[in-house]
Structure 1
Amino acid sequence: MSLKYAVLAALLDGEASGYELSKVFDVSFANFWPATPQQLYRELERLEGDGLVAARVVRQERRPNKRMFTLTEAGRADLRAYAAEPPRRPTAVRDELLIKLQAMEDPEATRALIEERRAWARAKLDRYERVRDRLLDGWTEERYLSESGRVGPYLTLLRGISFEEENLRWCERVLTVLKQRVAAG
């Protein structure tokens, strides 16, 4: 998959500047499709050239003008067609930490790496839970899922939450094993 469809999906919630889009990616897409602001701006230019998004300039005083992007009907049609296709391949995990763990010789040094991963997972989980609270805005999850306009962002957020919860469980298990190995000498 290219960044193209992630950008189109992000614009389903309405008009956004490149800067606003990068903030959306940081909060909702980063767990499964990260992108730098520079990549997003380049992709927005391509999508505009392909007629899949439209841009308008908003003039600002004392600040540079900004461009606001929206999906075109062609962009919506392309995204609908893409969303209906089955994924081309199953999910593959590419994780540098797993290679380091595979090559582990020093359990103490590895412990520090796992503790760092645990801290990252905890921070991401905390952020995702704040996003969930904002999305629900006092609604129950059941009500939100049955009555809100779009549930896709919430369902992908749930996947991010479960992913980080599993990362935390895995880190705790690995730390327990490493502690036992160090104690055993």
Structure 2
Amino acid sequence: MALRNALMAALLQGEASGYDLAKEFDASVANFWMASPQQLYRELERMEGDGLITARVVEQERRPNKRLFSLTEAGHEAVRAYVSEPPAKPTAIRDELMVKVQCADVGDIDAVRAAVAERSEWATAKLERYERLRQRLLDGRTEDEYFAEAESIGPYLTLLRGIAFERENIRWGEIALRRLEERAAARKA
């Protein structure tokens, strides 16, 4: 999947500035696609050049002017074409922490434990952000009411996947920390 597909998916929600898109990526799309603000702006320029999006300048007092991006008809067509394509194979996990965990028995087990604990803290913080976003999306409604009433359900479905992913990261971290602590204690005994 290309960054442009994720950007077009975000722009389906409506016109947005590069700054807004970066915030949205951090708040919602980050559970399945990561990109730096610099990557976003470079891709937005390419997409504009390819005719997939258009930008309009909004003049602001006391602040720099901002550009608001929206999908063109060609952009909407590109989204429809992308959605119609069969999905690629699932992404393989490439996680340096997993390599360190794999080597824990021959390395500094305390350093590995610290890395797992840090990852668990990150997962907990992300889960808290995702849960706040979930509550904002639901806006007092039940999930069933949301699915029946919402104009777009895709963002909520991807958010649910992000929530499940971070919950599993936390669960795995608890198991890994317990077992690494047991191994460290056995080494000292």
Instruction: Say yes or no: does 1:134 pair with 2:136.
Output: yes
Write out aligned runs for 1:52-67 (5 A).
Answer: 52-67=52-67
Q: Distance in 2 between matches of 1:154 and 1:5?
A: 18
- Structure 1 partner of 2:111: 109
- Structure 2 partner of 1:5: 5
Please identify, of 23-32 and 100-109, the stretch whose mean Cα deviation from structure 2 is larger: 100-109
Displacement of 1:22: 0.6
Provide the secondary structure at the position in 1 that maps to 2:28.
helix
Provide the secondary structure at the position in 2 that maps to 1:111.
helix
Q: Distance in 2 between matches of 1:62 and 1:114?
A: 45
Give the RMSD, CA atoms, in angstroms.
Answer: 1.0
State the TM-score, normalized to the length of structure 2: 0.94
Please identify, of 17-26 and 102-111, the stretch whose mean Cα deviation from structure 2 is larger: 102-111
Displacement of 1:107: 2.2
Displacement of 1:108: 2.0
Q: Distance in 2 between matches of 1:184 and 1:62?
A: 63
Structure 1 residue ranges, 4+ long, deviating more than 3 angstroms after superposition: none
Displacement of 1:149: 0.7
Q: Distance in 2 between matches of 1:10 and 1:79?
A: 11
Displacement of 1:102: 1.3
C-alpha distance after superposition, 1:120-163 (max 9, x if no partner) = 11000000000000000000011111221100000000000000
Q: Percent identity at matched positions?
A: 64
Residue identity opposite 1:156 in structure 2 = T
Displacement of 1:31: 2.2
Structure 1 residues not aligned, in runs of 5+:
none
C-alpha distance after superposition, 1:36-92 (max 9, x if no partner) = 111111111111111111111111122211111111111011101101212122221
Task: Pick from 172, 180, 183 the counterpart of residue 181 of structure 1.
Answer: 183
Structure 2 residues not aligned, in runs of 5+:
none
State the TM-score, normalized to the length of structure 1: 0.96
Q: Distance in 1 between matches of 2:51 and 2:111?
A: 52
